[in-house]
């Protein structure tokens, strides 16, 4: 199973109703910071696949999922949302380093 699952409007309910901690990234293929920082998000997901497989990771292409983008008020890219039991507990705007993202996820998982 891949560490990061691509979600869209047809399969998002599996993410939305996940019980536990879930991290989702909203991105676009035309967004240079999204493309450049994509490996960092993949590394983050791979790290937690080993360290804490209970945390779910996903991504949403805003061009393919405009309803989800509007539902979660995503205006800047990349945007990362952290959910606990289906509720947003943290919004992260823009590009962050792997260390910054680990620190944020660890603080949410405590």
Strand partners, 24: 58, 81
Q: Is 40 a catalytic residue?
A: no
Catalytic residue among 4, 24, 34, 77: 34
- 73 Ramachandran zone, left/alpha/beta (phi>0; psi -120 to 50): left
Does 34 qualify as catalytic in the annotation?
yes
Give me the helices (H) in 17-110, please. 32-51, 66-71, 98-109
Catalytic residue among 31, 55, 60, 105: 31
List the catalytic residues: 31, 34
């Amino acid at each position: 199973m891949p560490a990061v699952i691509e979600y869209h409007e047809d399969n998002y309910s599996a993410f939305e109703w996940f019980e536990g901690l879930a991290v989702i990234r909203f991105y676009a293929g035309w967004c240079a910071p999204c493309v450049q920082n994509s490996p960092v998000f993949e590394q983050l997901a791979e790290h937690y696949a080993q360290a804490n497989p209970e945390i779910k990771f996903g991504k949403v292409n805003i061009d393919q999922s405009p309803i989800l983008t509007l539902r979660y008020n995503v205006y800047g890219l990349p945007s990362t949302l952290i959910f606990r039991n289906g509720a947003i507990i943290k919004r992260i705007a823009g590009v962050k380093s792997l260390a910054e993202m680990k620190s944020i996820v660890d603080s949410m998982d405590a």
